[in-house]
Homo-oligomer: A and B are copies of this chain.
Amino acid sequence: MPSFSKQIRVYFSPEKKLHDSLRNILGFYPGNISLYKLAFRHSSAAQQIKKGVKDSNERLEFLGDSVIGTVVADYLFKKFPYKDEGFLTKMRSKMVSRAKHNQIAVKLGLNNFIEANNDRFGTKPSSINGDAYEALIGAIYLDKGYKFAQKFILTRIINVHIDMDEVETKEVDFKSKFIEWAQKERKEFKFETLVDGTTVPDKQFVLQLTVDNEVVGTAQHISKKRAEQMIAEQACALLEI
């Protein structure tokens, strides 16, 4: 029955390959492979499955992002028993930043698995990798449970790919980060002072930041420098830099 064997080959081959490749990256065999396939499907390559919802990785990303947040919260809680919640919050936001997740995704080699339709966007957004990482964690959580996902994040991500000393000491300079991005992407941007703090009684600066004439951040502070950092931080969050 050559046609039957051919069918089997066609049907199982790519599935088997994904299965084995994932085994190498993850350190375990996936159970429900369809969850992992979904995790790597960017919305540009997704089909509408019902009005208002596509079979893209965005729902898994929502879930995985939260799971990572909890695992990291637990990790920091135990690692720093004498630090207050302000410190823990700040550390976590650095560990789960968009940039960090993009880096982790590339280090794991997830970018090779992503299914995207390049025709639908000009330059591929870099957040596509980080999104796939978050979605992958969502898939692991659903497939294997919280404890398993936790162990994966601790042993295969934090212990291997995150330099905790660097996270602890490094202050994020959002303005530089933003400008670097804008120059690389050849975007026009403007830090504008809407209210000059030196001319008003309560001494508050109001600043806004525009990218290609669209406002991406506004902030108000007695220090102009601080206000610049604040709007740059807003922009980084909004633009997923």
Indicate if the CB atoms of A59 and B84 lie closer than 8 Å: yes
A-side interface residues, number (CB < 8 Å): 41
Complex copy number for this chain: 2
- A50 CB within 8 Å of chain B: yes
Min CB–CB distance A137 → chain B (angstroms): 11
Cα distance A220–B138 in the bound complex, in angstroms: 34
Min CB–CB distance A240 → chain B (angstroms): 14
* Residues of chain B within 8 A of A50, CB atoms compared: 82
Min CB–CB distance A75 → chain B (angstroms): 10
- A89 CB within 8 Å of chain B: yes
- A8 CB within 8 Å of chain B: no
- A73 CB within 8 Å of chain B: yes
**For A85, A141, A142, which residue has the most chain B Cβ atoms within 10 angstroms?**
A85
Q: Spell out A's residues near B (CB within 8 Å).
A: 49-50, 52-54, 58-59, 61-63, 66-67, 69-70, 73-74, 77, 82-85, 88-89, 138, 141-142, 145-147, 150, 194-195, 202, 204, 206, 208, 213, 215, 218-220
Q: 8 A-B Cβ contacts within 8 A?
A: A59-B85, A59-B88, A62-B88, A63-B77, A66-B73, A69-B70, A77-B138, A206-B206
